[in-house]
Amino acid sequence: MKPNILLLMTDQQRWDAMGCSGDWAQTPNLDRIASEGVQFTNCVTTSPVCIPTRLSLATGLYPHNTGVWNNMHHQMPAETPTWMQAVREAGYRTSLFGKTHLHPHSGDLREREDLMNAYGLDDVDEIGGPRASANVLSHMTAAWQTKGLWNAYRADYRERFSNKPHVVRSSVLPLEDYADVYVGQKAKQYLKRYDRPEPWCCWVSFGGPHEPWDTPEPYASMYAPEEMPPAIPRPPAGERPRGHLDRLMEQVNPTFEEGEIGRLRANYAGNVTLIDAQIGEILDVIQARGELENTIIVHCSDHGEMNGDYGLIYKSNFLNGAVRIPLLVRTPKALAARRTTPVVCDSPVEWLDIGPTLVELAGGELKHRQFGKSLCAVLAQPETTHRDFAISEIEGEIMLLNRQWKIALNANGEAYLLFDVQNEPDEIQNLAGRPEVADVETELRLQILERLVETQLRHP
C-alpha cells in the first residue's frame, strides 16, 4: 500500500525555532516528528525571500534559472513542470491548504483554482500571506468579511505599517479565526472526511510565523520575553567589498526599545507553538484514520526571520537567522527502524531537495531538468554526505555553505561575507577580504562558479 504524504510548511520559521533545534520555542509535535525520522541541521533555503524560493521548491530550479531574484510580480506559467504534478501522476490525490505564492497575491484567489490544478494540486483552499490577506479575497477572508472581522484586520495592518511595523500586539482576530488556525482546521477537516481510493498528498502551508508579531492569546503571553535568547549583535563592517546585506543594514534600522527584541521573540515563539498545536490536531486525525504509521511527513519553512539579530527584522540576507531553515523528514521505513536516540544529519542540504524526495517516496518520476536532489539515500544513511555544499541566491548574489565555511559573493563576484561556521557559528567575525584567507576565498569562489555552470538550463 502506497504511503500517504503530509507536507507541513511554515513561512519565516527560523531553523532554531523548534524544541529539537533550540531551547526557546516549545514544539512537542514537531519534536515527535524529528524523533521518528531524520532532522537536517544544515538545510539552506534556495533564496531567503518568499517568491523566489517557493518557485524553486515547485520547480527544482534556482533563481539563476528562473530569473526571479526577489519578491517581484511573478506568476508561474500553468505549463511549468512541478513535483506536485509528478506525485499526482504517481497515483495520488493532491491537496493544498494555505499559502503558495506561486502567483500574485491580488484579486480573488478563489478564481485561480484552475491554475492551481494545472500546477498539480487537485483540492485547494488557498490563502494569501498575513500582509496580502488585508486585501486579497479567499475563502478565509470572505469568512472574515461575513463575521465582520475583515475591516478590523485591515485597520490593524494599516496602523502597524504606518507607525511601527515591528510592534508586538495580539491580533484583532479571535483565535479560531486566526490564519494559522484556519489553515490547520481546514486541512484537518479535509483529512477527516477523505474517502477516495487514491492515497493522499496533503500540503499544509501555514502563513505564520511570518511577521507581523500579532500572535493571539493564549499564545501571545505564553513566553517570558526575558527568557528569550539574546540577539546577535551587528559587528563592525571592516575593510571588505560590500553587498546586499550592507545595503539592507543601511536601509533597515529599526529602533528597538529596551526589552523589545525579547518581546518580538516571545510573540514569535508563541506563533510557532500555535502552529505546532494545529499540527498536533492534524496528526491526531491521521492517527484516528489508522494511517499515521503509513504516512510520510516532511516539515520545512521557506526562510527564517532575523528577529533582531544584526539589528535586523525580516529576512532577505544570507545570515543564519534568514537562510537556515528547519527540515524534518519522517518515513514509514524510518519509523519501523526507529533508533533509541534522535537521528540527525548535519550534511548541507537544500530546500529544493524536498520535491525530488517526495516524488521518489511516492514512486513517481521527475521528467524535466531540475537541480533538487532526493534525500532518500541519506535518509537511509544519515551519517553520509548529501551535498558537499549548499547554495542560496538573492538580488543577483550567491552564497555557499559547507561544513567549515560560508561565503557570499556580491553581484560583481566579490566575496563580501566569509565566516568560519565550524568555529564561529554566530557569524560575528567576517573574514572577507583578509589576506590570510585569500586562498579559501579563491577555492570557494571556484566551487560556486562550477556549480553555476553545472546548473545552467540546456536549450535545443
CA dist 350 and 372 (Å) reads 8
What pLDDT is recorded for position 459?
55
- Residue 460 binned pLDDT confidence (cut-offs 50, 70, 90): very low
Name the residue among 15, 63, 1 with its Cα closest to residue 299.
15
Summarised one tens digit per residue, pLDDT across range 278-295 is 999 999 999 999 999 999
Q: Do residues 57 and 353 lie in contact, with contact meaning Cβ atoms separated by under 8 Å?
A: no
pLDDT given at position 235 = 86
First to last CA, the chain: 40
On the question of pLDDT at 329 being above 80, the answer is yes
Tell me the HSE value of 239 on the side-chain side, using a 13 A CA sphere: 2
Contacts made by residues 416-421, CB under 8 angstroms, sequence distance 24+? 416/240, 416/241, 416/242, 416/243, 416/245, 416/246, 417/243, 417/245, 417/318, 418/444
Cα separation, 19 vs 27, whole angstroms:
5
Tell me: pLDDT of 340 over 70. no
pLDDT in the model for residue 43: 98
Q: How far apart are CA 311 and CA 101, in angstroms?
A: 28
pLDDT digits (tens, 9 = 90+) for 308-323: 999 999 999 999 999 9
Cα–Cα distance measured from residue 400 to residue 393, given in angstroms and rounded to the nearest whole number:
9
pLDDT at 364 (0 to 100): 97
What angle, 0 to 180 degrees and rounded to 10, lies between the N-to-C axes of helices 260-288 and 28-36?
60
CA distance linking residue 77 with residue 52, whole number of Å? 14
Distance in angstroms (rounded) separating the CA atoms of residues 328 and 204:
15
pLDDT tens across 140-159, in order? 999 999 999 999 999 999 99
Q: What is the pTM of this model?
A: 0.97
Strands 4-11, 200-209: pairing is parallel
Count of CB atoms situated within 10 Å of the CB of 343: 19
- Domains of the chain: residue spans and CATH: 4-388 (3.40.720.10)
Residue 305: C-alpha distances to residues 19, 211, 310, 324, 436 (Å): 17, 8, 11, 10, 32
Give the C-alpha separation, 94 to 87, whole Å.
Answer: 8
Report the pLDDT value the prediction gives residue 341, as an integer from 0 to 100. Answer: 76
Q: Each residue of 176-222: pLDDT tens digit?
A: 999 999 999 999 999 999 999 999 999 999 999 999 999 999 999 99
Asked if 126 and 108 touch (Cβ cutoff 8 Å), the reply is no
